[in-house]
Amino acid sequence: MTPYTDLLKEWRKRRRMSQLDLAVEANVSARHISFLETGRSRPSPEMIVHLSEVMEVPVEARNQMMRAVGFAPRYAATPIDDAAMAPIRRAVAWTLERHAPYPGMVLDRLWRILKLNGPATKLFAPVGLREGQSLLDLLTNPIMADVVENWPEAAHYTMLRLRAESAAFGGIPELEVAIKALAAQAKAPSDLTVGPSIPTIYRFAGQRLSMFGTIAQFSTVADETLDDLKVELFFPADEASAALLTALAEQPDTAPPPMQ
């Protein structure tokens, strides 16, 4: 098990903070931070949580810090199908259902698809994307260059997002592999006058579908499971795309029932 002294130092450096920076942000003395990192002082559970909050350490890593000092984990890892998660499931289902006719999905930390709404199920079926699969497998598949009109630019921004997410969690091997694969295909756009957001432009059966996305995550997280979840919602970037998504949603629904 990695000692707390090393974990604290590692996360401080990942957040590019000096001992003085952390001390100022946490309202403690720089001497105390130094003593914690050298093992001359033993942190209380409250201090572990406080410093972790200042450094925005993921709750899984906070539990690791607790164990390293000999304390019980502070945060649970509640299965998503647990009764205690019912309000979360209802919130997710409500969001996905009401986002129709536009596609939406729920992803975990490794970009596994936990839930697709009806429009997303129909839209991504032609490329074999379904619940339980990792979106990373599709993003690193050569088919993307054929399906996405502006794939080099889309790959660039996807790579940047993966890089930020991996860094936030202290490095995620699965994301790092995808980052490397995308880097070989990515190209930063040379012209940013197209609008406030760079859409991803899909080509399906001779039709052009331009969409941008937004990401929702849970606030005040105190559970490892919730810390992993994100809801991704897609919106049409033009009127033609809006009409295409509306027409797709009106086709017979073969999607699974929404999360209850």
| Pair 160, 225 in one domain | yes
| Pair 110, 52 in one domain | no
Which of these three, 18, 46, 69, is where a domain ends? 69
| Pair 168, 213 in one domain | yes
| Pair 164, 233 in one domain | yes
Q: Is residue 51 part of a domain?
A: yes
Q: First and final CA of the chain: distance in angstroms?
A: 39
What's the domain count of the chain?
2
Angstrom CA distances, 184 to 144, 159, 198, stand at: 13, 10, 20
* C-alpha span between 191 and 98 (Å, rounded): 34
* C-alpha span between 209 and 201 (Å, rounded): 6
Q: Is residue 46 part of a domain?
A: yes
Q: Is residue 41 part of a domain?
A: yes
pLDDT per residue as tens digits for the range 222-234: 999 999 999 999 9
| Pair 140, 240 in one domain | yes
The pTM of the full predicted model, rounded to 2 decimals, is: 0.86
Contacts of 178 (CB under 8 A, 6+ apart): 111, 136, 139, 140, 162
DSSP code string of 84-136: GGHHHHHHHHHHHHHHTTS-EEEE-TT-BEEEE-HHHHHHHGGGT--TTSBHH
CATH code for the domain of 110: 3.30.450.180
Contacts of 159 (CB under 8 A, 6+ apart): 179, 182, 183, 186
DSSP code string of 129-142: --TTSBHHHHHTST
Q: Is residue 219 part of a domain?
A: yes
Which of these three, 69, 98, 124, is where a domain ends? 69
CATH code for the domain of 58: 1.10.260.40
| Pair 116, 154 in one domain | yes
Q: Is residue 259 part of a domain?
A: no
| Pair 140, 189 in one domain | yes
Q: Is residue 77 part of a domain?
A: no
Domain that holds residue 40: 4-69
| Pair 65, 104 in one domain | no
CA atoms within 13 A on the CB side of 10: 16
Which of these three, 12, 45, 69, is where a domain ends? 69
| Pair 33, 158 in one domain | no
| Pair 212, 180 in one domain | yes
| Pair 25, 125 in one domain | no
| Pair 110, 157 in one domain | yes
Per-residue confidence in pLDDT tens, the chain, 260 aa: 799 999 999 999 999 999 999 999 999 999 999 999 999 999 999 999 999 999 999 999 999 999 999 999 999 999 999 999 999 999 999 999 999 999 999 999 999 999 999 999 998 888 888 999 999 999 999 889 999 999 999 999 999 999 999 999 999 999 999 999 999 999 887 765 556 778 999 987 788 999 999 999 998 889 999 999 999 999 999 999 999 999 988 887 654 443 33
